[in-house]
């Protein structure tokens, strides 16, 4: 086995190239959201060298408690003419722009900085943050230090500045601690910024010996496949930067035991460069379904999907099936599993009194009397002499309508039931019927979306992303071609070429999840439809508007329940 190791540059951002701003705050000791900052001190370092320092007192707008003044030496008199919280924090963020922040017990300092942003209306810059206290707890043992307080660590790493509860001095001491920890953690596999931000996690021997697998992986968007020595796919993933993503599997940033085990088995990584993010996601899905990689958890079992179908019988009934056949008059789905399909059937049967017996009934009744459901007027009893075959035919027709685009009967019936249960204080039962209604509506919406896109022999659409055009050709619900036109280029020639070279696709060839993925992309609001051979439209009584009704009912029921419970 080739066990060559790549350079540190290939394994992440080298720590020597990272600009850190080590920050410390003094505060009034209140809550972080009160933003009671009294002093900010910071030191900017890169490659072991100090690039600059920042220090300012801050007027918090409130009095400094006496015990805080005694601890820090910062008094109300000192802060009387100091900059406001807005001015001081704005200056700090300008100083720290683009740097990785470091603090000792970082959640405390970040909490006050965030509170200051919220209080003053400054947008939180979402900086990357390293915590020297947490790093020390990972890198050092109790035999080396009795605790991980800043004073203890500063003495351990021989800081020239002793911490004294003043912001700049404490920041200088934290710089010494940071550098000492980086030296110590280098032997533990922390050699890049990605490692450091993983809070000092350690790379395994398997990760270190497999770093050569990164060779040949480009910095481009696409799909990557980890394979074993026999060429079998172990794991499939996507990334906008294949090289950057794959290398994380060989650093301390990857902490999942499952992935470390996979890396230990892997013998090669196969990259597949894709033109667009959507193409990469589609290819990932297809590869997972086709090759069943054991370390992928999603999309590996499309056979577990289920449909709710109306049988083609003299007296139809609802069934849960794994595939819709000619023996079914109509169907909705697919659902994620039989559990969700069962919820949808219960919603339908509550509104439309279909029979629930599993017998195959002849056209003419054979029984003298109906079952219990017939006696409760929940079924027209087509199996019995006393039944009403014509009434049942009308019921079956209503069920057919509910499965082919008209959800009104089910929605109205279940909303009435939920309202009645809520008025009686039976909130749990109301919520259970809400869940059934939501499952039914989701199945209807999914079915209509798949049908609309699956019926179109060609759809061409484009989306502008950062000035570049992402163009896709979809045929019968399957991605047939994808291309990218750089900023400033005319997209028309590339679009025409994609249509001419797109894959030939047969109806019903696409994966359900792929068609859904393409529908979401086509309807996300940013996509421009160039042309479509079939209208991409849904029935007026199916879709987001119906689900919005359920969501409103959900909110109303939850609100009413909380009010009643509080009394």
Per-residue pLDDT of the chain (567 residues; tens, 9 = 90+): 344 444 444 456 888 999 999 999 999 988 888 889 999 999 999 999 999 999 999 999 889 999 899 988 999 999 998 999 999 999 999 999 999 999 999 999 999 999 999 988 888 998 989 999 989 988 888 888 999 999 999 999 999 999 999 999 999 999 999 999 999 888 776 778 877 876 555 666 677 778 889 888 998 999 999 999 999 999 999 998 899 889 888 876 676 778 888 998 999 999 999 999 999 999 999 999 999 999 987 655 666 789 999 999 888 889 999 888 888 999 998 998 899 999 999 999 999 988 877 666 655 555 555 565 665 566 666 665 565 677 888 888 999 999 998 888 998 999 899 989 988 988 889 889 999 998 999 899 889 889 999 999 999 999 999 899 999 999 999 999 999 999 989 999 999 999 999 999 999 888 899 999 999 999 888 999 999 988 888 776 665 555 565 555 555 445 444 433 433
Q: Which residue, among 84, 93, 101, has the nearest Cα to 122 in the 3D structure? A: 93
CA-angle at 118, arms to 117 and 122, nearest 5° = 45
Q: Inter-axis angle of helices 277-291 and 512-522, to 10 degrees? A: 170
- Rounded to whole angstroms, the Cα distance separating 563 from 11 reads 55
What is the CA 467 to chain-centroid distance, rounded? 25
pLDDT in tens, 329-383: 999 989 988 999 999 999 999 999 888 776 666 555 555 555 656 655 666 666 6
Q: How far apart are CA 528 and CA 209, in angstroms?
A: 47
Q: Among positive and negative, which fits the CA dihedral 196, 201, 207, 213?
A: negative
Q: How far apart are CA 180 and CA 556, in angstroms?
A: 57
Q: Residue 152 and residue 144: Cα distance in Å, rounded?
A: 10
Closest CA to 168 of 92, 68, 55: 55
Give the DSSP H/E element, type plus range, for residue 321. Answer: strand 318-321
Rounded Cα–Cα distance for residues 470 and 455 (Å): 23
Residue 512 CA to residue 507 CA, distance in Å, equals: 12
DSSP single-letter state for residue 21: E
Active-site amino acid positions: 165
Report d(CA 375, CA 320) in Å as an integer. 26
Cα 494 → chain centroid: 32
Question: In 10-149, which residue ranges form alpha helices assigned H by DSSP?
Answer: 66-72, 76-79, 85-95, 106-120, 132-139
């Amino acid at each position: 086995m080739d066990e060559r190791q790549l350079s540190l540059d290939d394994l992440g951002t080298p720590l020597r190239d990272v600009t850190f701003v080590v920050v410390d705050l003094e505060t009034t000791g209140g809550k972080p959201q009160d933003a009671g900052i009294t002093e900010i001190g910071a030191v900017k370092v890169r490659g072991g060298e100090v690039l600059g320092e920042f220090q300012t007192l801050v007027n918090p707008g409130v009095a400094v408690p006496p015990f805080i003044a005694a601890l820090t030496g910062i008094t109300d008199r000192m802060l009387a003419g100091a900059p406001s919280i807005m001015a001081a924090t704005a200056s700090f963020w300008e100083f720290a722009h683009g740097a990785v922040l470091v603090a000792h017990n970082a959640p405390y300092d970040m909490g006050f900085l965030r509170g200051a942003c919220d209080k003053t209306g400054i947008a939180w810059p979402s900086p990357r943050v390293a915590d020297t206290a947490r790093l020390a707890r990972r890198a050092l043992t109790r035999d080396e230090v009795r605790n991980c307080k800043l004073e203890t660590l500063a003495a351990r790493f021989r800081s020239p500045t002793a911490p004294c509860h003043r912001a700049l001095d404490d920041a200088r001491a934290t710089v010494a601690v940071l550098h000492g920890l980086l030296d110590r953690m280098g032997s533990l596999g922390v050699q890049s910024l990605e490692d450091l931000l993983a809070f000092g996690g350690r790379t395994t021997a398997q990760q270190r010996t497999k770093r050569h697998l990164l060779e040949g992986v480009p910095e481009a968007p696409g799909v990557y496949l980890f394979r074993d020595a026999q060429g079998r796919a172990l794991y499939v993933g996507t990334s906008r930067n294949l090289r950057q993503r794959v290398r994380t599997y060989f650093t301390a940033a990857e902490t999942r035991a499952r992935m470390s085990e996979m890396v230990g088995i892997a013998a090669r990584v196969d990259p597949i460069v894709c033109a667009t993010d959507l193409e990469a996601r589609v290819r990932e899905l297809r590869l997972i379904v086709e090759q069943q990689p054991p370390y992928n958890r999603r999309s590996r079992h499309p056979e577990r999907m289920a449909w709710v179908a109306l049988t083609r019988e003299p007296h139809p009934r609802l069934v849960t099936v794994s595939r819709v056949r000619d023996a079914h008059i109509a169907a909705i789905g697919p659902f994620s599993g039989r559990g969700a399909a069962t919820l949808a059937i219960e919603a339908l049967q509550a509104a439309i009194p279909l029979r629930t017996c599993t017998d195959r009934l002849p056209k003419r009744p054979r029984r003298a009397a109906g079952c219990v459901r017939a006696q409760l007027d929940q079924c027209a009893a087509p199996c019995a002499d006393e039944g009403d075959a014509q009434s049942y035919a009308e019921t079956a027709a209503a069920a057919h309508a509910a499965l082919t685009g008209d959800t009104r009967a089910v929605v109205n019936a279940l909303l009435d039931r939920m309202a009645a249960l809520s008025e009686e204080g039976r909130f749990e039962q109301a919520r259970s019927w809400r869940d059934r209604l939501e499952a039914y509506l989701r199945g209807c919406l999914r079915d209509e979306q798949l049908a609309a896109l699956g019926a179109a022999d060609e759809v061409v659409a484009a989306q502008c992303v950062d000035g570049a055009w992402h163009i896709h050709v979809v045929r019968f619900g399957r991605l047939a071609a994808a291309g990218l036109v750089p900023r400033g280029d005319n997209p028309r020639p590339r679009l025409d070429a994609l249509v001419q070279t797109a894959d030939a696709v047969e109806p019903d060839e696409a994966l359900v999840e792929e068609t859904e993925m393409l529908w979401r992309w086509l309807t996300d609001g940013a996509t421009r439809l160039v042309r479509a051979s079939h209208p991409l439209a849904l029935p007026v009584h199916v879709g987001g508007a119906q689900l919005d009704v359920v969501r409103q009912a959900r909110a109303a029921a939850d609100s009413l329940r909380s009010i009643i419970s509080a009394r």
